[in-house]
Amino acid sequence: MKVSKTVLAAIAAAASGLGSGAALAENWDLPAAYPATNFHTETAVAFGACVKGATAGRVDVTVHPNGALFKGNDIKRAVQTGQAPIGERLISAHANENALFGVDSIPFLASSFDASEKLWKAARPELEKLFASQNLVYVYAVPWPPQGLYTKKAVNSVADLKGVKFRSYSVATARIAELAGMIPVQIEAADLSQALATGVADSFISSGSTGFDVKAWEYMTHFYEVDAWLPRNVVFANKDAFAKLSAADQAAMLKCGEQAATEGLAKSRALTQKYIDALAANKMTVGKPNATLKAELDAYGKTMTAEWAAKAGAGGKAIVDAYEAK
């Protein structure tokens, strides 16, 4: 076989690079579940650029949006088992594994950005331990905008929701469906437009951000600003993959994570109203729930807070106490 001069030169260059101790770049695929244009995905891409710069190219993170590499529900397990070195996941979707993963989805416990930050701060030490026990390293987390209710008709009380097919994305959303007598069906955001288009779901709870991503106005008529909670996407790394990085590169990655958390939070805050305005501009009826619906949802909140406390035990109670004390 004839080997070209260019190939030989490339081999020689690579060999001399290795000889002088230059490390090969680590390619880290980061599976994500939301569209490329979603602010969480953009934040993850910016995080990747930060890591690349801060590690002088030794760690090269590639974000794979839309559940293309692993579906949303498979991302966490993929990272735990090392099939992916890092990933982003809506963590409350895993509250059935451990109630602590649902700390950000207790209805009306923390329903503003400030409250949500305070709650996360209180929860973070316990959560970091929990991630570590699952072979994961916590890198950063960013909240979605407050969650509201999308429907295809006016809803004046929970009685109007009875029997409605409801798309859930977490244990808490499924529980609300159950309490309201709706029929829950678990659907990833990547499959949501299709579910709405085909009538698999006629209602859902989510942010203006996801409503915007799926063009909710093509299927739904109402968005109630319930402000139920602000669930988080968490970016976590596989512990073994992380341990293989040098101490300096590990520190660089965590520092980029802190930066991503700050930038992602700022974007989430800034975009909240913009997305709600977009729903209204596309002729959806947008507004607060009426007093009856609000009171009924508040009562669900009380029930679910008690249920969560019973499941989350002493660790959960310590978090809520710390949150309420500060």
User: 224 - beta bridge partners?
Assistant: 149, 287
Residue 284 sits in the site that holds ligand PCA (CB under 6 A): no
Name the minimum Å distance from CB 292 to ligand PCA. Answer: 25
Name 134's Cβ contacts closer than 8 Å, sequence gap at least 6: 80
Name the minimum Å distance from CB 310 to ligand PCA. Answer: 25
| Secondary structure (DSSP) of 201-237 | -SEEEE-HHHHHHTTGGGT--EEE-------EEEEEE
Residue from the set 85, 143, 184, 231 that interacts with ligand PCA by CB under 6 A: 231
In the bound complex, which residue of the shown chain has the CB atom lying closest to ligand PCA?
A: 207
Is 254 in contact with 242 (CB distance < 8 Å)? Answer: no
Name the one range near ligand PCA by CB under 6 A: 151-159, 206-214, 243-251, 271-279.
206-214
Residue 67 sits in the site that holds ligand PCA (CB under 6 A): no
Q: Which is nearer to ligand PCA, 211 or 316 (CB)?
A: 211
Is 212 in contact with 223 (CB distance < 8 Å)? Answer: no
Q: Which residues of 278-310 are buried (b: 16+ CB within 10 A; e: fewer)?
A: bbeeeebebeebeeebeebbeebbeebeeebee
Residue 151 sits in the site that holds ligand PCA (CB under 6 A): no
Residue from the set 55, 203, 210, 272 that interacts with ligand PCA by CB under 6 A: 210
Residue 166 sits in the site that holds ligand PCA (CB under 6 A): no
CB atoms within 10 A of CB 270: 11
Name the one range near ligand PCA by CB under 6 A: 63-71, 94-102, 203-211, 250-258.
203-211
Name the minimum Å distance from CB 221 to ligand PCA. Answer: 18
Three-state secondary structure call for residue 141: strand
Helices (H) and strands (E) counted in the chain, each on its own, are 10, 11
Q: Which is nearer to ligand PCA, 33 or 136 (CB)?
A: 33
State how far the Cα of 138 lies from the Cα of 167, in Å rounded to an integer: 28
Residue 206 sits in the site that holds ligand PCA (CB under 6 A): yes
Name the minimum Å distance from CB 189 to ligand PCA. Answer: 4
Residue 144 sits in the site that holds ligand PCA (CB under 6 A): yes
Which residues are at the interface with ligand PCA (CB under 6 A)?
Answer: 90, 144, 169, 189, 206-207, 209-210, 231
